[in-house]
Structure 1
Amino acid sequence: MKLRRVMDGAVPAVQVAIAGGWVDVARALQGTQFATDAERALWCTDAIALLGAPAAVHRDMLERAARISPLTDDARVPVLPFAPRSFRDFMLYERHAIDAARGFVRTYMPRAWPLVRAWEATVGPPFPLLKPHALWSRQPIYYMGNHLAFAGDGDMSIPAYTQALDYELELGFVLSRDLMDASPAEAEAAIGGFVVVNDFSARDVQHAEMRSGFGPQKAKHFRNGLSAEIVSADEILPRWRDLTGFVRLNGELIAEPQTAGGRWSLGEAVAHVSRSERLFPGELFATGTLPGGSGIERGRLLEAGDEIEIGITGVGTLRNRIVAPARGS
């Protein structure tokens, strides 16, 4: 099941994908015996609440939607599929961590770079200090991002304080049930849907902030990208380790990152977060950058005028045009 939201005047309307088009959930739920009027009203405007509805509701809605002619030219502009209640970004991929660290050394530590290069040429990669902190192998690690800074397709203005804007392709997933002290299986069962996340980063600022020992701040909190569509967990969760993504820069395919190789399962990651901590529907998580899914790994950061398009097959896409900072900002 794939959902999106459009604005119907001042009120969001949830739509479900059917046969190459979209059907308003309000029409698909009209007359159903599986919901009260209050539940229908909620599910028509709140995609997360709809994803958390009983399976019988989903089956009945999809059967009814299949009998309705889908909209293929809806003039209403899609908005974010939901407003995240929080955002936690894991680092599940060691290969990205190592390759990004190598990129940081190459770019920001020019005196150390020859040593790293010589070591790896002689002994073999990776240079020991490029590997993640030992805590990474003992528990899922993550940072708390700015859940209020998400936006979809469109212009992305470079923050005035950075000369090193980067993209990061990530698989996002959102809860549709509350949790606390969950087992991995319980945590997986609470995942409602999947999205594509672009965790934009100011790399020059990030380098200094991370060396402070206090984690990312202005390097991360200015903007995140979120795909316009959300796909239900039943379609993605069983195969989340087998997905292929893509990165296109100015129309050129430059990378096809894979979701394989994560250190922890999504259930293990969310269960860890839920230890003595209550989690709620609408809380958003991301896997961390897929290996090869960022510019710092490739030595090519974003510039004004670039168009960056990222996506994950079966989940969604996100396209942003990079714009110079506003004068005087």
Structure 2
Amino acid sequence: MKLRRVRDGAALAVEIAVGDAWVNAGRALSAARPALAESDIALWARDTVAFLGAPDDVRARAEEAARGLAPEADGARTVALPFAPLSFRDFMLYEAHAIGAARGFVRMSMPALWPIVRGYERVLGAPFPLLKPHRLWYRQPIYYMGNHLAFAGDGEDIAIPRYATALDYELELGLVLQSGLFNADPEEAEAAIGGFVVVNDFSARNVQREEMASGFGPQKSKHFRNGLSGVVVSADEIVPRWQSLRGTVRINGALVAETSTAGPRWSLGEMLAHASRCEQLYPGELFATGTLPGGSGIESGRLLDAGDAIEIAIEGIGRVRNSISREGQERP
């Protein structure tokens, strides 16, 4: 099931995809048989995460009813974020990205070391040892806490921070919880996933290196803005094949990267179980896998500048498109 959330005036409403059209979830739930409680319909019709957490048979009946209803007519409503994340934890599941990004940092920031790294890798055919992730990465899933209040939707402009001279994109698979977790095992944790989205973890690379070296992790290099797809896809469609999804990056319409979700160090269940260790997790919290291998400009050498239009996509889920600007840095 594919869902989105739209705004019509001050009201927010969930919509269900029927082919290329959209049907109001409240209408579909009201048309479902047997009849559902009005209070449940009201909740599920406005809250995407609650709808993802509804019983499977309810969602199936609503989707079936939606197929028999006329799609929503074009009007004044606009697509909003599919949900408002309660928090944002961004993991790093892919060793290939970690090494590729480290290689890019050397090429960009340490030109004296770059010939040594390049020569070592050409001769031995293996990554330069210092490019590999920290030893903790091999023992447990690692993540940083991002800014859950800074998400931009599909089509929104992204303002380059005044301090950023190397703005980057990062193509990531995101997921939202539909039920809570505490000290979960991987199987229980995977079952708590409600749906999947596409996340663009924008990064100011010129300030990231020193922030990481501080030992406190990313701060201003990450917290200014992120992108989130307008569509969320239910977990049952994605979990069975989450390690075989194709990802693409296009800048100004040109394909600059093609990657996939294959080859993570940890499973989604292991990732979430680790996050829940002695910590209560709640429905609506957002998680990301970290950048897919080759899914960032620090790896390809193609960073972003004002005037660029960036589109990242993951098959079966959707895409998020943003225009890059130097506008919007004044205080509201």
TM-score, normalization by structure 2: 0.96
| Greater Cα shift, 151-160 or 223-232 | 151-160
CA displacement at 1:35 relative to structure 2 = 3.3
Label 1:326 to 1:174 Cα distance change in 2 as closer, same or farther (>3 A): closer
**SS of 1:308 mapped into structure 2:** strand
Provide the rounded CA distance (Å) in 2 between the counterparts of 1:194 and 1:236: 7
Amino acid at match of 2:161: P
Provide the rounded CA distance (Å) in 1 between the counterparts of 2:190 and 2:125: 38
Label 1:325 to 1:112 Cα distance change in 2 as closer, same or farther (>3 A): farther
Amino acid at match of 2:44: W
The aligned residue for residue 77 of structure 2 is 76
The aligned residue for residue 86 of structure 2 is 85
TM-score, normalization by structure 1: 0.97
CA contact 2:8–2:76 (8 Å) conserved in 1: no
**SS of 1:173 mapped into structure 2:** strand
CA displacement at 1:328 relative to structure 2 = 6.7
CA contact 1:194–1:236 (8 Å) conserved in 2: yes
Amino acid at match of 1:298: S
Provide the rounded CA distance (Å) in 1 between the counterparts of 2:328 and 2:282: 37
CA contact 1:166–1:294 (8 Å) conserved in 2: yes
Q: Does 1:252 align with 2:257?
A: no
CA contact 1:20–1:72 (8 Å) conserved in 2: no
Deviations 1:184-220, CA, capped at 9 Å, x for gaps: 1100100000000000000001011011111000000
The aligned residue for residue 196 of structure 1 is 198
Amino acid at match of 2:127: P
CA displacement at 1:72 relative to structure 2 = 6.0
The aligned residue for residue 61 of structure 1 is 62
The aligned residue for residue 25 of structure 1 is 25
**SS of 2:175 mapped into structure 1:** strand
Equivalent of 1:179, from 181, 184, 189? Answer: 181
Unmatched tracts of structure 2, length 5 or more:
none
CA contact 1:90–1:143 (8 Å) conserved in 2: yes
The aligned residue for residue 7 of structure 2 is 7
**SS of 2:137 mapped into structure 1:** helix
**SS of 1:71 mapped into structure 2:** coil
Unmatched tracts of structure 1, length 5 or more:
none
CA contact 1:79–1:228 (8 Å) conserved in 2: yes
RMSD: 1.3
Deviations 1:116-160, CA, capped at 9 Å, x for gaps: 112112222200000001111111000000000001122111001
1:124-135 correspondence to structure 2 within 5 Å: 124-135=125-136
Q: What number of residue pairs does the alignment pair up?
A: 329
Q: Does 1:226 align with 2:201?
A: no
Runs of 4+ in structure 1 off by over 3 angstroms are 31-35, 72-75, 325-329
